[in-house]
Amino acid sequence: QVQLVESGGGSVQAGGSLRLSCAASGRTFDNSAMAWFRQAPGKEREFVAGINWNGNAAYYPDSVKGRFFISRDNAKNTVSLQIYSLKPEDTAVYYCAASRLPLIHNIVVEADVDYWGQGTQVTVSS
């Protein structure tokens, strides 16, 4: 059974930092693109970071570029999201996502995601 388990969420003040981690089990994802999405209350889930299968390319939407950084460790079957300069509008449930395919464009759309984690809450206070 494939599982993606996120950790590292919490409550922080604006301007702070967090590092989210996602541990995968049940299969290896070293040939898979992986990503982070988030869903704020009353809003649709949105893509915030993606990384290709070997970690040599990443993509971020303009809304988070320069503050969010995705990385992966294929030896440990993990993917992480480092977030700096947190803003109240970053408050959301953050989800780890994985594709069966290797490239970032295979995972930027929610409908293309093959595996989801259960989510971890990030709350940013002003």
The number of C-alpha atoms within 13 Å of 44 and in the hemisphere containing its C-beta is: 5
List the beta bridge partners of residue 71. Answer: 80
Distance CA 120, CA 85 (A): 18
List the beta bridge partners of residue 120. Answer: 94
- Note the pLDDT tens digit of each residue in 45-74: 999 999 999 999 999 999 999 999 999 999
Q: How confident is the model at residue 96 (pLDDT cuts 50, 70, 90)?
A: very high
Structure tokens at 101: 């395919």
Backbone torsion region of residue 17, taken as left when φ is above 0, otherwise alpha when ψ lies between -120 and 50, otherwise beta: beta
